Amino acid sequence: MALPGLGRALVSAGKLGQKAAEDLYKKAQSGRTSFIAELTGSGAVSASDLAHTMSTAFAAPLLDLDAIDLQRLPKGLLDPKICSDYRIVVLSKRNNRLMVATADPADQQAAEKIKFATQLGVDWVIAEYDKLSKLIEAQSTTANEAMDQIVGGEFEFDEFAAEAVTTEADKTTSSEVDDAPVVKFLHKMLLDAFNMRASDLHFEPYEHNYRVRFRIDGELREIASPPVAIKDKLASRIKVISRMDISEKRVPQDGRMKLKVGPERVIDFRVSTLPTLFGEKIVIRILDPSSAKVGIDALGYEPEEKERLLSAISRPYGMVLVTGPTGSGKTVSLYTCLNLLNKPGINISTAEDPSEINLPGVNQVNVNEKAGLTFAAALKAFLRQDPDVIMVGEIRDLETADISIKAAQTGHMVLSTLHTNDAPTTLTRMMNMGIPTFNIASSVILITAQRLARRLCPNCKAPLDVPRKALLDAGYKAEELDGSWTPYKPVGCSSCNNGYKGRVGIYQVMPISEEIQRIILKGGSALDIAQQASREGVRTLRESGLLKVKQGVTSLDEVLSVTNE
């Protein structure tokens, strides 16, 4: 009988007779255990003797694992299942080679498995088999305990709903990554994010740790630190249910998925993957359709601002622009307007990149640059579809702007967004894009600039004594400081996030009056437009924010940070 390399090395070293080695090997095969486990378990060779013999026979260094700190071992370099199956521990990585502790350096199958899984060479270090087994069990226990602490025991989840029909190939791929702890962990994270009113989830792999953060009320908070070993399985699971290519890890990918959170409640998620140094970072955006139906009153418009906006969108034609940085609530504002306009007698078409909120009764188109379906191409098609209202996700170039303006001039209501700091600079930005001033003056009827500020928690907010000079420096007029109101500060309680709960919009709603049209036609600057708007009673973003402070809705610090002038 052909002995494995470990058996031959022991016989050559005189530690074991040929017959005894063959008998032990037969016993291991019939009992379906490893030869090395049979050797040490039967007492034929002690774990210490075996380690010293292997070190001499294979000229490999000997390591005492008692001196190893479990917490300092690198994580995520090799699948824990391979480590457990072959009884090996990864000690370090240098350049393109792994240093791996083993009790059996003659195990070629283990070496090949490691090379295939990591594309790295292997340098063996000899360790005692009993200590190696204990260390592997400790690593496994630590990982399981960490997952149990995060997941919190048993958890019931509703089923994921894929957007497309699942193919047989997908079923096979899905089963490969259908690891129960990973599935449970992902479901819990998604449901926790939804229940905590988060807008995004970030899954971030690093060299020695893995973290999950939620963006709640505009701020990122670390929620969990799962074992780094789950990063690949978690990424694969997310990619399978988001209809992405599970084998492609070198380029960014985008996908979508759905989660049922009730009998009739389905939440959409937009998923983006990004290759980083230590694995794929995944960001999941929560797209809650109900956010478009909260109503205009819940967004935070002051009565006169609301009146101006409703008056503009109720006109038969013209262009209404919403402007602000990423994450300032522009999409929700636009969809709230669309929801008000969405009646049986109105034909509404939208072009977005991508469509974030599903609104029944609205014809939504996803822009696809690779396929040639640009914003401009979608707009041209819309104009042949007998539209009443057109929504363009973003005006990015002159061609899109030109077609949008022509649509607004020929009897259509056009809604769109731009990335500018405030309403007056939107008009000068359009001039700089190359749009003729007479086209801007004759088509744009209203511009709304907005920011999102965190709302103070009504349960724990406390009055704050702010010096009069600080209030004047912030932008309050002397006559406003009459002692009839007091600013509040965040405190923090069990029902809020560091003193804040939810967010409120801060708006600058600027109708394009005849006087502003004249300034545009003369090629006036943003400063000229801003001064005229102020004379017409249009508040700046800072002034709108300061009004929210007077009302006790948000804090002065929050307003100063989001309206940085």
Supply the pTM of this predicted model. 0.66
What's the whole-number mean pLDDT along residues 461-488?
90
Residue 292, pLDDT score = 62
DSSP letters along 129-165, please? HHHHHHHHHHHHHHHHHHHHHHHTS----PPEE-SSP
Q: Supply 150's token pair.
A: 């995060």
Instruction: Compute the distance between CA of residue 291 and CA of residue 363 in angstroms, rounded to an integer.
Output: 18
Assign 28 a pLDDT band (cuts: 50, 70, 90).
confident
Contact (Cβ atoms closer than 8 angstroms) between residue 448 and residue 309: yes
Q: For 449-523, where are the alpha helices, taking DSSP H only?
A: 468-474, 514-521
Instruction: Compute the distance between CA of residue 344 and CA of residue 340 in angstroms, rounded to an integer.
Output: 12
High-pLDDT (> 90) share of the chain, %: 39
Instruction: Compute the distance between CA of residue 260 and CA of residue 306 in angstroms, rounded to an integer.
Output: 34
Residue 163, pLDDT score = 41
Of 1, 15, 79, 98, residue with least CA distance to 51 = 15
Assign 511 a pLDDT band (cuts: 50, 70, 90).
very high
Which residues fall within 8 angstroms of residue 201, CB to CB, at 6 or more apart?
Answer: 189, 190, 193, 212, 213, 214, 215, 283, 284, 286
Indicate the average pLDDT of the chain.
85
In tens, the pLDDT along 250-274 reads 999 988 888 776 666 778 888 999 9
In tens, the pLDDT along 135-194 reads 877 766 555 555 555 555 443 334 444 443 333 334 444 444 446 778 888 888 888 888
507 pLDDT above the threshold of 90: yes
Q: Supply 275's token pair.
A: 């290759």
Contact (Cβ atoms closer than 8 angstroms) between residue 92 and residue 118: no
In tens, the pLDDT along 426-466 reads 999 999 989 999 999 999 999 999 999 999 998 899 999 99
Which of the residue ranges 26-30, 217-221, 443-447, 479-483 has the most confident prediction, judged by mean pLDDT?
Answer: 443-447
Positive or negative, the CA dihedral 61, 65, 70, 72 is negative
Residue 290, pLDDT score = 67
Backbone Cα Rg of the chain? 32
Residue 165, pLDDT score = 37
309 φ/ψ sector (left φ>0, alpha ψ -120 to 50, else beta): alpha
Which residues fall within 8 angstroms of residue 478, CB to CB, at 6 or more apart?
Answer: 472
Torsion angle, alpha carbons of 555, 559, 560, 562, to 10: 140
Torsion angle, alpha carbons of 412, 413, 418, 420, to 10: 120
Instruction: Tell me which DSSP letter residue 385 carries.
Output: S
What's the whole-number mean pLDDT along residues 490-497?
82
Residue 281, pLDDT score = 96
For 473, other C-beta atoms within 10 Å of its C-beta total 10
